[in-house]
């Protein structure tokens, strides 16, 4: 991870590096995920709020789709090989046991 510069451009993220790429584009796509986290409880939201760059975490949750009363929808990606618009995961974060 130290060889990458990762930036968030809501709702997308971008990965850059200098010199020879440490991974092929396909490997990078398979290893990276742009997750939008939806905390199930305030305690989960507080835990997420304490995270800092470089922290390693174990996530427990469910992939979800969102729908609003006016017809707007946001679908979670269900594959690890996609990229670009629509490739993000929407994760309903549950408390860890």
| Per-residue confidence (pLDDT) for residue 4, from 0 to 100 | 67
How far lies 50's CA from each of 5, 47, 55, in Å?
Answer: 21, 5, 10
Tokens of 9: 């451009």
Judge whether 64 and 92 are in contact, CB under 8 Å: yes
What is the per-residue pLDDT across 18-76, written as a single tens digit (0 to 9) for each?
Answer: 778 778 878 877 777 888 999 999 999 999 999 998 888 888 899 999 999 999 999 99
Kindly give, in sequence order, each residue whose CB lies less than 8 Å from that of residue 82, ignoring residues fewer than 6 positions away: 29
Tell whether the model's pLDDT for residue 1 goes beyond 60: no
pTM (predicted TM-score):
0.75
């Amino acid at each position: 991870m130290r060889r990458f510069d990762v930036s968030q451009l809501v709702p997308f993220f971008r990965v850059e590096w200098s010199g020879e790429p440490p991974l092929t584009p396909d490997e990078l796509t398979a290893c990276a995920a742009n997750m939008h986290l939806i905390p199930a409880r305030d305690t989960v939201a507080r835990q997420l709020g304490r995270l800092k760059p470089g922290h390693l975490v174990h996530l427990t949750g469910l992939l979800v789709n969102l729908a609003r009363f006016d017809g707007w929808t946001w679908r979670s990606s269900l594959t690890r090989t996609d990229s670009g618009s629509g490739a993000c995961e929407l994760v309903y974060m549950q408390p860890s046991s």
